[in-house]
């Protein structure tokens, strides 16, 4: 079997490696700052754990390899402007928007999108970074350094946020996990829960939307679609051409997790419909210290990313999976974590099936 190189050596790369190991696949995440000559072979495969990257010695070697799967898709989706254009072209619902140009005015934003408008930087924004609210009531103006660099989006008064993770093979075969319900606090994902019976009614609509996109891009591997649910409608907020944080629960809750599915797809291995186990939840560890007492909590699985702990930084996650809902509730009661975790824990409890 050939080697699978991953552009990027963060937690997603590490989890791809973990998933590839039992399949006998040598998965090698590459630090983008690495300066060594990589021993790339002609029949190796290259993928990425991030949608954009600076040009470095390492990324240049990887991005010029003939087998870099989805290479042309990354710049299309990494730029919010071209991503929105793709959605519009395919007639997929998304929050109303316009590009912020050199001569764009806040008044135009209020006139066309309403009194609250969210500007998002075209590139590099993640976890709520790269956002700027324009509020008519406060007479906000567009700062000069946002002109030509951002899109402006209508504020969506959504009922809840859901995401869909799907996988597509080279032959166009597609499989999807059940929709995941997500809680973001200040733009950053804190908790997920899946599967939920009450979301079943949106599943086929979501699959059709993401499937259309993956087909149009001739995409191979795992892609995630984050949506706002507004009544019966799903509006696409964001697409990620890679494994995604809202799919981490599949490590505990599915016989084939998102990381294995991505490895299988890009390596041209068979895909199957995943078996979903029991009830899963995921809690991101954001700016909190490692606490091995968590391991005494039944149903819990710890993933610690070996990063320095800093406020607002994702340093790990906890997966929970069991068929016993009382065990999940007890687990949540035992998670003694600082603000804003009590909010996330209450949210999980409120959304667990009765
Ligand atoms: P993003 O970086 O685009 O994924 O946004 C992060 C989070 O900000 C989302 O998950 C939402 O909670 C919130 N958000 C993003 N776009 C909007 C919008 N148009 N209206 C309201 N909230 C939004």
| Dihedral sign of CA atoms 255, 260, 264, 269 in order | negative
What does the alpha-carbon distance between residue 203 and residue 194 come to, in Å, rounded to a whole number?
Answer: 12
Q: Which fold has domain 4-68?
A: Rossmann fold (3.40.50)
What does the alpha-carbon distance between residue 6 and residue 27 come to, in Å, rounded to a whole number?
Answer: 7
Residue nearest to atom 18 of ligand 1 (CA): 155
Residue 40 CA to its chain's centroid (Å): 28
Does the pTM surpass 0.85? The reply is: yes
51 lines ligand 1 (CB under 6 A): no
246 lines ligand 1 (CB under 6 A): no
pLDDT at res. 143 = 95
Could you tell me the residue ranges of all domains in the chain? Answer: 4-68, 96-154, 160-351
The DSSP-derived string for 320-341 is: EEES-HHHHHHHHHH----TTH
| Ligand 1: nearest atom to the Cα of 130 | 2
Phi, psi of 216 (to 5 degrees): -60, -35
Closest to 302 in 3D by CA, of 275, 330, 282: 282
Q: DSSP letter for 278, please.
A: S
95 lines ligand 1 (CB under 6 A): yes
Tens-digit pLDDT string for the chain (354 aa): 789 999 999 999 999 999 999 999 999 999 999 999 999 999 999 999 999 999 999 999 999 999 999 999 999 999 999 999 999 999 999 999 999 999 999 999 999 999 999 999 999 877 778 999 999 999 999 999 999 999 999 999 999 999 999 999 999 999 999 999 999 999 999 999 999 999 999 999 999 999 999 999 999 999 999 999 999 999 999 999 999 999 999 999 999 999 999 999 999 999 999 999 999 999 999 999 999 999 999 999 999 999 999 999 999 999 999 999 999 999 999 999 999 999 999 999 999 998
E strands, the chain, are 4-7, 27-30, 45-48, 97-100, 116-121, 131-135, 150-154, 160-168, 174-176, 180-185, 188-194, 221-230, 233-240, 279-286, 300-304, 314-322
Cα of 329 from ligand 1 centre, angstroms: 28
Cα of 158 from ligand 1 centre, angstroms: 10
CATH class of 96-154: alpha beta
pLDDT at res. 354 = 86
pLDDT at res. 2 = 86
51 by Cβ neighbours in 10 Å (0-12 / 13-18 / 19+) ranks as: buried
Strand partners, 191: 183, 283
What does the alpha-carbon distance between residue 194 and residue 253 come to, in Å, rounded to a whole number?
Answer: 8
Q: Are 185 and 201 in contact (CB under 8 A)?
A: no
From the options 3.30.470.20, 1.10.10.10, 3.30.2420.10, 3.40.50.1970, give the CATH code of 160-351.
3.30.470.20
| Largest Cα–Cα separation, the chain | 60
Those residues whose C-beta lies under 8 Å from the C-beta of residue 32, and which sit 6 or more positions away, are: 7, 8, 9, 53, 54, 56, 58, 59
What does the alpha-carbon distance between residue 199 and residue 219 come to, in Å, rounded to a whole number?
Answer: 26
Q: Residue 230 CB: number of other CB atoms within 10 A?
A: 15
User: How large is the C-alpha radius of gyration of the chain?
Assistant: 20
Q: DSSP letter for 43, please.
A: T
Mutate to test the pocket of ligand 1, among 158, 187, 347 (most ligand atoms within 8 A of CB): 187
Mutate to test the pocket of ligand 1, among 128, 158, 159 (most ligand atoms within 8 A of CB): 128
106 lines ligand 1 (CB under 6 A): no
Token pair for residue 350?
């409120």
């Amino acid at each position: 079997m050939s080697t699978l190189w991953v552009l990027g050596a963060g937690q997603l790369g590490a989890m791809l490696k973990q998933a590839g190991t039992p399949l006998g696949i040598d998965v090698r995440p590459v630090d983008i700052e690495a300066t060594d000559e990589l021993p790339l072979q002609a029949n190796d495969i290259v993928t990425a754990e991030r949608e954009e990257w600076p040009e470095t010695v390492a990324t240049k070697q990887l991005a010029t390899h003939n087998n870099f799967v989805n290479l042309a898709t990354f710049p299309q989706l990494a730029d919010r402007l071209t991503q929105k254009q793709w959605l519009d072209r395919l007639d997929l619902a998304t929050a109303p928007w316009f590009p912020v140009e050199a001569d764009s005015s806040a008044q135009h934003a209020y006139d066309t999108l309403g009194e609250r408008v969210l500007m998002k930087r075209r590139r590099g924004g993640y976890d709520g970074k790269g956002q700027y609210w324009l509020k008519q009531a406060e007479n906000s103006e567009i700062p000069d350094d946002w002109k030509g660099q951002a899109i402006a989006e209508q504020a969506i008064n959504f009922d809840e946020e859901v995401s869909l993770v799907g996988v597509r093979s080279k032959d166009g075969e597609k499989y999807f996990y059940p929709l995941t319900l997500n809680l973001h606090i200040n733009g950053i994902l804190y908790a997920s829960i899946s599967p939920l019976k009450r979301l079943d009614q949106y599943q086929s609509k979501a699959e059709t939307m993401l499937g259309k996109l993956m087909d149009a891009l001739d995409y191979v591997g795992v892609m995630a679609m984050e949506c706002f649910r507004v009544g019966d409608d799903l509006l696409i907020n964001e697409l990620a051409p890679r494994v995604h944080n809202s799919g981490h629960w599949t490590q505990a809750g599915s016989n084939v997790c998102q990381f294995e599915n991505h490895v299988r797809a890009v390596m041209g291995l068979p895909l199957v419909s995943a078996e979903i186990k029991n009830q899963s939840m995921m809690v991101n560890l954001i700016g909190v210290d490692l606490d091995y007492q968590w391991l005494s909590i039944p149903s819990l699985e710890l993933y610690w990313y070996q990063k320095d702990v800093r406020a607002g930084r994702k340093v790990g996650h906890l997966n929970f999976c069991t068929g016993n809902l009382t065990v999940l509730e007890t687990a949540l009661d035992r998670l003694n974590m600082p603000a804003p975790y009590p909010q996330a824990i209450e949210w999980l409890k409120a959304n667990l099936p009765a």
